[in-house]
Structures are given as C-alpha cells and as structure tokens.
C-alpha cells in the first residue's frame, strides 16, 4: 500500500483541494480503500468545508491524542473515520483534522505512533493520503512526511507561489534526504510552465492541475456541483495525477529494493577475466 503526504507553502496553494481531488479519483482495485488524513497543525478544513458542517466535531484527529495517551490509538483510529461516499461503501474515508489549532500541542506525542500506524496499514488494504497543510511537513508532525513513500508539494505557478515552493523544497530535501521521493503538483493559475519550474526548482512536476475555481469549490467548500463535474477538466487532471503519484512511489520502491546477489556463473565469468 501507499502513503502520500501533501504539503504547501505560503498563501493558499490548494493543498486540501488537491488532496480531496486525489481522494475522489484514487484508483481502487477490488477490496482496497483510501483514507485522507487531515494532519494540518493549523486546523482542518474538510468538516466545515467539503462536508458543509453536516457532522459535528465528534470525529477527528483530536480524539486520537486522548487515545494515544491511553495506549489505544490503533483501536480509536478506525472509529474516527468518516465515509464520504454516497453509497456508504466506506472505500473513501476521511480522518477530519483539528477544529482548533490550539489542540496541536496535544498531538505532539501522537504524531510518531500515528506515522507508524499509517505505514503499517497496508495489511488492511488501505492507501493513505496525508494533508499536511503549510506547516505540517516540519516541526513535530514532520515524522508523517519522513515515513511517507512520497511527499508532493502543492504550489501555484506564480512568482510568489514558486518562491515559497523553492524554500519548502530546499527544506524538504535537507530533512528527507534520498529516502523519500519528492514531487510537485502545479496549480495552473500563473504564467510559468512546468518546464520552467523543473529547470529553476530542480523538481519534476508530477502533475498540473487546472485553475478551475468553481470546480475546486465543490471539493473545498461543498459547493453545488456544476454540470459534468466528474468528467470536468479538474477531475480528469486529478485522475491522471493519482496515476503519476503511484508511478512516483513505484520509482522509490524500485530504487530502494535490495538487488539480488550475483549468480555463481556471473562470479565465475567475472573472475576469469
């Protein structure tokens, strides 16, 4: 299974919207599920946004802080998940984030065991998407990025957005080393092409998501869906982005996979030279 962390820079680059788009379009083989965990220390946006306040704060990350102190994190985790599918299939789930940023300090002892839970969740047939917001890839919650298969930086292709992204990329490279793949989602609201971004920031643009405010509002604020939303440009790009992210993870696993030992014949031939 796969653990993907999404992070952003200054301003509102659209991390949560991109994460929701991935959640809705993530390919799911039979029996598999995907979870979006809101782990932004600045607070969650899905309950009041995409879910339009239809649920109270009974579910979410804050409850895991209490469970973690009691040694019951694994049991409590599954009770905090919210099914966002219309059919109630529970194959696309959300772990709502903190509703008050003041609660972030209570999470500090929980981030590490939660990262371990995410890494070991593959036995349940789940992929995990982590919304780290602007600050979550650094500080106490940074272990979530360190234990992920890949970290995807979300940025707008404006001068301000890319300057912020450059600072974040440098910090991520220093923090993660070569153990985690780093990719980028470019929100196409500015003048710079993905080729220019790659040349100047030294990062491959994993996917470009179109700037479509009306479609994005469905994912960020629960706005009424425009006609043909599912087949619209944003969701089509999100489906492609999900596949590109999975390719990014495959590259990492291929790179880290142990190489088979040389065969006896190879050693004999090599020694005969």
Closest CA relative to residue 144, chosen from 46, 19, 7, 48: 7
Q: Which pLDDT does position 271 carry in this prediction?
A: 47
Q: Which residues of the chain have pLDDT under 70?
A: 53-57, 122-123, 259-273
Q: Which pLDDT does position 196 carry in this prediction?
A: 97
Q: Which pLDDT does position 56 carry in this prediction?
A: 63
In tens, the pLDDT along 106-132 reads 999 999 999 999 988 866 789 999 999
Residue 150 φ then ψ, to 5°: -155, 150
Q: Which pLDDT does position 54 carry in this prediction?
A: 62
Q: Which pLDDT does position 261 carry in this prediction?
A: 67
Q: Which pLDDT does position 269 carry in this prediction?
A: 40
Closest CA relative to residue 23, chosen from 87, 84, 114: 84
Angle at 170 between CA 45 and CA 157, to 5 degrees: 60
CA distances for 86 relative to 9, 54, 83, 224, angstroms = 32, 14, 8, 15
User: Residue 100 CB: number of other CB atoms within 10 A?
Assistant: 10
């Amino acid at each position: 299974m796969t653990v993907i962390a999404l992070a952003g820079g200054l301003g509102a680059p659209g991390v949560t919207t991109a994460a929701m788009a991935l959640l809705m379009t993530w390919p799911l083989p039979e029996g598999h599920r995907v979870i979006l965990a809101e782990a932004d220390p600045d607070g969650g946006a899905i309950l009041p946004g995409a879910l339009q306040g239809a649920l109270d704060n009974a579910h979410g990350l804050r409850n895991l802080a209490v469970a973690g102190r009691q040694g019951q994190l694994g049991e409590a985790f599954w009770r905090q998940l919210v099914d966002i599918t219309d059919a109630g299939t529970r194959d696309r789930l959300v772990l709502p984030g903190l509703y008050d940023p003041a609660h972030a300090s209570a999470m500090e002892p929980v981030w590490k065991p939660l990262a371990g839970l995410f890494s070991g969740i593959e036995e349940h047939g789940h992929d995990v998407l982590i919304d780290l917001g602007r600050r979550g890839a650094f500080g106490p919650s940074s272990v979530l990025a360190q234990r992920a298969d890949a970290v995807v930086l979300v940025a707008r292709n404006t001068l301000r957005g890319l300057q912020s992204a450059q600072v974040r990329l440098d910090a991520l490279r220093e923090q993660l080393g070569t153990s985690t793949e780093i990719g980028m989602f470019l929100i196409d609201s500015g003048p710079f092409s993905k080729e220019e971004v790659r040349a100047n920031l030294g990062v491959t643009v994993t996917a470009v998501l179109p700037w479509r405010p009306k479609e994005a509002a469905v994912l960020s604020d629960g706005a009424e869906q425009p006609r043909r939303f599912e087949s619209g440009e944003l969701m089509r790009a999100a489906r492609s982005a999900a596949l590109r992210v999975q390719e990014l993870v495959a590259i990492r696993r291929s790179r880290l996979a142990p190489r088979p030992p040389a065969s006896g014949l190879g050693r004999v031939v090599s020694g005969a030279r």
